[in-house]
Structure 1
Amino acid sequence: MYLETEKVQELLTYIKKHDTIIIHRHVRPDPDAFGSQLGLKYLIKNAFENKKVLAAGTMSKGLSWMGDMDEIADSDYEDALVIVVDTANYPRIEDKRYNKGAKLVKIDHHPDVDSYGDLEMVYTKASSCSEIIANISLELAEALPLTKEAAFMLYAGIVGDTGRFQYDSTSATTLTTAAELLKQGIDHFIINDRFNTKSMEQAKFQGFVLDQLEITDNGVAHILINQADLKRYGITEEESNVAIGIPGSIMGVNTWALFIEQEGSHPYWRVRVRSKGPAINEIAAKYHGGGHPKASGASVYSKEEMSQLLEDLEQAAQAYLDNISE
């Protein structure tokens, strides 16, 4: 197990000491961000009924089934413990009041980018931040016991970040942790059904992505998605997430990027980058982003930057293919 007992106990000490605990996560939240944030909130609230435990940030329409965020006043941060989950660097923390509390804790599973907090619990071997939170609860079985409500959130977070246990971040620890969460009596069918279900508009958009996808000889695929494309199919940018995994299902594709045009007077492209082989997180970091070796995000502000990013992916794919052919 990757957890450090001393740090787990230090986290518990902080939780016991503070009457108000505010939990933050990253902007543009995914299931793991919500799962670890709300799962931790429910764990603490169950164990310490008299504490004020709040979840900071905006809600995601597509993930509204997971729960709600809280209204938080500036005064709530006075002498509060702030915990930031699933966020490797400062710029991606949603709600910049995170540094206004008395103590700050970072819990994350991404490769470390920014060191911050009075206590840092960063475990890159974990499949997800939800897996880390679940194992903290299992280690603190009496002081911070699992509940059905928390287990539902944490299981959803793990399922989301492992692609339903398909990605190579899934380990034996991931599966045993998921099994412990299932013991709480959660309905895992509901969670998987939520991830599998799509609207007719989203299904048609997937067909558009397949039709327009460009693939190089080295297995690098990409597509440019304009605001007009989203409007044509009647979907939001968040709903376009349904297409992220599509290129990876095509034989021969090992790396792919979806460029999504952003609205505004100075438009730019948000880039979702994925891989089945080459590490792409360092490439994403060059273009105002970052993430995991095989799942990252970036932004490009010109067609020139777009071409440069694709060239970097092409070189990474070539090196990957050369390596596996040796």
Structure 2
Amino acid sequence: MSIQSILQSIQQYETVIIHRHVRPDPDALGSQSGLAHMIKDTYVDKKVYVVGEEDERLTFLAQMDDVTEEMYANALVIVCDTANQARISDQRYSLGAALIKLDHHPDVDDYGDIQWVNTNASSTSEMVYELYEASKEYGYNYVMSAQVARLLYAGIVGDTGRFLFPSSTARTLQIAADLATYDFDRTALYDGMYKTSPAIARLKGYILQNFTISSAGVSTVKLTKETLEQFHVTPSQTSAVVGLLGEVEGMLTWAIFVEEDEQIRVRLRSKGPAIHNVAAKYNGGGHPRASGATVYSKEEMEQLVADLEQVTIDYVRK
């Protein structure tokens, strides 16, 4: 990988379309939209678009553009924060003239004409900041605005759990400190990212009353459609409760199963065991300690729990 080749490609194309993964989180949106605004601010005549499904919880961060298939002709496509192609939001990503993969997850799919994968980065937003720094070194002189700083800061905060996760390095904190010098409201940003509605607060109470934990330290909770309706919570809103069980003593890994119309969304977290390979086995992926998956039956759900139990037992035995 050459950062210089990424900068050269961005300069070369008049149209740039940026994708990210399905079910976006702050890092997916922060890196995607932060990079988009940075390119727009640097090359004012370029046409730069962001695409993917909207998440109502995060529209305060960024909103997507309407892009037709014809707009992909002769366009550079960049995919942020997505290890495997099946999880790219809007599968038209392959219609462009060239493709760049920009990601910090463990590599799953080998795709893209240019790939920059850095698993040591706390977030893809951190990598976009590094692209900004490299642009100065190579003479491209990207512009860093308060709007871009806000988006990248949100991505870093989101993927580091407010700097609590081990992925937060001294380098991460240095970058965050630099972004914090720009004029955006960090208090309002935190409020938008972490505010809890009464419905979510009540759902958290339900989870704390109904979780199970095995002797190995594996916990599971199933949120049926009826339960979600009872608490007036949508499946996408359950992302707000995924970290809750990490506060329970003795918990090593946990899975929250969220029932949808034709599938069961699985939110996986860990306090040590690597769970991303389990997620990849069930139509998902992610980080060693934070991943997502999808299953389609009770049997698949039970098998995933068994696999999660096994990786946790293996971790404890080491």
TM-score of Structure 1 vs Structure 2, range by shorter chain: over 0.9
User: Residue in 1 aligned with 2:147?
Assistant: 149
Runs of 4+ in 1 over 3 A off after TM superposition: none
Q: Which amino acid aligns with 2:58?
A: L
SS in 1 for 2:48: strand
Cα displacement (A) at 1:163: 0.8
Cα displacement (A) at 1:319: 2.0
User: Residue in 2 aligned with 1:270?
Assistant: 265
1:140-219 paired onto structure 2 within 5 Å? 140-141=135-136, 143-219=141-217
Question: Given the alignment, which residue of 77, 85, 96 partners 1:90?
Answer: 85
User: CA–CA distance in 1 between the matches of 2:194 and 2:115?
Assistant: 34
- Deviation per residue, 1:42-71 (Å, 9 max, x gap): 100000001101111121100010121111
Cα pair 2:35 2:128 within 8 Å, conserved = yes
Q: Which amino acid aligns with 2:12?
A: K
Cα pair 1:138 1:146 within 8 Å, conserved = no
Structure 1 residues without counterparts, runs of 5 or longer: none
Q: Over aligned residues, Cα RMSD in angstroms?
A: 1.2
Cα pair 2:87 2:284 within 8 Å, conserved = no
Q: Percent identity?
A: 45
User: Residue in 1 aligned with 2:11?
Assistant: 16
Cα pair 2:221 2:257 within 8 Å, conserved = yes
User: CA–CA distance in 1 between the matches of 2:95 and 2:281?
Assistant: 30
User: Residue in 2 aligned with 1:321?
Assistant: 316
Q: Comparing 238-247 with 181-190, which one deviates more in the overlay?
A: 181-190
Cα displacement (A) at 1:321: 2.0
User: CA–CA distance in 2 between the matches of 1:277 and 1:225?
Assistant: 24
Cα pair 1:289 1:299 within 8 Å, conserved = yes
Cα displacement (A) at 1:145: 2.6
Q: Which amino acid aligns with 1:102?
A: A
Cα pair 2:218 2:253 within 8 Å, conserved = yes
User: Residue in 1 aligned with 2:110?
Assistant: 115
User: CA–CA distance in 2 between the matches of 1:90 and 1:184?
Assistant: 34
Does residue 133 (structure 1) correspond to residue 128 (structure 2)? The answer is: yes
Cα displacement (A) at 1:268: 2.9
TM-score, length of structure 1 as denominator length: 0.94
1:31-42 paired onto structure 2 within 5 Å? 31-42=26-37
User: CA–CA distance in 2 between the matches of 1:316 and 1:18?
Assistant: 45
Cα displacement (A) at 1:34: 0.5
Q: How many residues align?
A: 315
SS in 2 for 1:279: coil
Cα displacement (A) at 1:235: 1.1
Q: Which amino acid aligns with 1:62?
A: R
Q: Which amino acid aligns with 1:21?
A: V
TM-score, length of structure 2 as denominator length: 0.96
Cα displacement (A) at 1:322: 2.3
Cα displacement (A) at 1:88: 0.8
User: Residue in 1 aligned with 2:274?
Assistant: 279
